[in-house]
Amino acid sequence: MKKLEGKRIALVSQRKNEELRKLVENMGGTALIRPAQGTVFLDESNVETDINSLLTGNYDWMIFTTGVGTDTLRSIAEKMGKEREFIDALATANIAARGYKTVNVLKKLDITPIVRDDDGSTAGLMRELAAHDLKGCRVALQLHGDPAPKLIEWLNEQGCEYKEILPYQHVPPQPEIMEQLINELLNGDIDAVNFTSTPQARFLMKHAREKGVEQAILKAFSNDVVAVAVGKVTAQALREEGVERVIFPENERMGSAIVTLAQYYQGSE
């Protein structure tokens, strides 16, 4: 028997859905394409203003949360003819980084973070930052399409002043697709939902709240629907939205998440 035989898996990512569909189907499952995240867009003019602000040296800390976002800032600084200034500004600031991809991007710039997460998550980053006194500090916070409410709440509690820098932002998904996904979840037509980024979790639960069915959706995830995340950060976003049962692979890859889901079903039989 194939590992996902009879299971209906909603794929809510924006990209690589065809590859994921084939993987699900090869394992005997049915893949439902339900993008819960719109197109990513970049407002380069605003980012240029943020980079000029970074170059002033007025920030005590710079917190980088994604490798893509960090490299995008460097790339835009290069287009502005200010890449060297950008790297020098990082070299003189206290740097905190979340995730190995972020650390690797900084390493290419010969920048070693003073603080990095202990487990790849935003919660892990906050645990490590807690050893430092940020009260009264000015912090530049690089985000990537997701507002990171827990991190922002924590920064407020520390009494520091922060500036959010979003190289990318995500457009909300199409309302009709979200409506379809919500109805399928409520009707028991879906066995699992595969999340590949934090905005997907935020958009889904935001839509559920607007429709007045948040608790019903959370109940579905608690009982019959399995939430599977690509990794720790996406899993944490789901938990912050109230989804308590979340599975995810140690190897943070899209395909690995589907394999982990199949193993979960095998173990629960």
Mean per-residue pLDDT for 115-120? Answer: 87
Q: For position 269, what pLDDT does the model report?
A: 54
Q: For position 145, what pLDDT does the model report?
A: 62
Shared domain for 150 and 181, answered yes or no, is no
Q: Are 245 and 213 in contact (CB under 8 A)?
A: no
Q: Is residue 2 part of a domain?
A: no
**Residue among 254, 260, 245 nearest 22 (CA):** 254
Mean per-residue pLDDT for 229-251? Answer: 91
Domain containing 140: what range? Answer: 41-169
User: Across all residues in the chain, what is the average pLDDT?
Assistant: 90
Shared domain for 58 and 176, answered yes or no, is no
Q: Render pLDDT for 143-159 as a digit per residue (tens, 0 to 9).
A: 876 667 788 999 999 99
Mean per-residue pLDDT for 101-125? Answer: 91
Domain containing residue 74: CATH number: 3.40.50.10090
Name the packing angle between helices 198-210 and 232-240 (round to 10°).
Answer: 20
**79-94: b (≥16 Cβ within 10 Å) or e:** ebebbebbbebbeebb
Q: Sheet harboring 192-195: ordered strands across?
A: 30-33, 8-11, 192-195, 226-229, 246-247
- Whether the pLDDT of residue 33 is over 80: the answer is yes
In sign, the C-alpha dihedral spanning 217, 221, 225, 228 is positive
Which residue type does 228 have?
A: V
**Residues above pLDDT 90, as percent of the chain:** 67
Q: Is residue 3 part of a domain?
A: no
Shared domain for 49 and 165, answered yes or no, is yes
Shared domain for 75 and 32, answered yes or no, is no
- Whether the pLDDT of residue 1 is over 60: the answer is no
Mean per-residue pLDDT for 167-196? Answer: 92
SS (H, E, C) the chain: CCCCCCCEEEECCCCCHHHHHHHHHHCCCEEEECCCCCCEECCHHHHHHHHHHHHCCCCCEEEECCHHHHHHHHHHHHHCCCHHHHHHHHHCCEEEECCHHHHHHHHHCCCCCCEECCCCCHHHHHHHHCCCCCCCCEEEEECCCCCCHHHHHHHHHHCCEEEEECCCEECCCCHHHHHHHHHHHHCCCCCEEEECCHHHHHHHHHHHHHCCCHHHHHHHHHHCCEEEECCHHHHHHHHHCCCCCEECCCCCCHHHHHHHHHHHHHHHC
Domain boundary (126, 148, 169) is at 169
Q: Are 172 and 203 in contact (CB under 8 A)?
A: yes
Domain boundary (151, 169, 187) is at 169
Q: Is residue 160 part of a domain?
A: yes
Mean per-residue pLDDT for 93-116? Answer: 94
Q: For position 29, what pLDDT does the model report?
A: 95
CA within 13 Å, CB half, 242:
15
pLDDT band for 175, please (50, 70, 90 cuts).
very high
Shared domain for 133 and 14, answered yes or no, is no
pLDDT band for 68, please (50, 70, 90 cuts).
confident
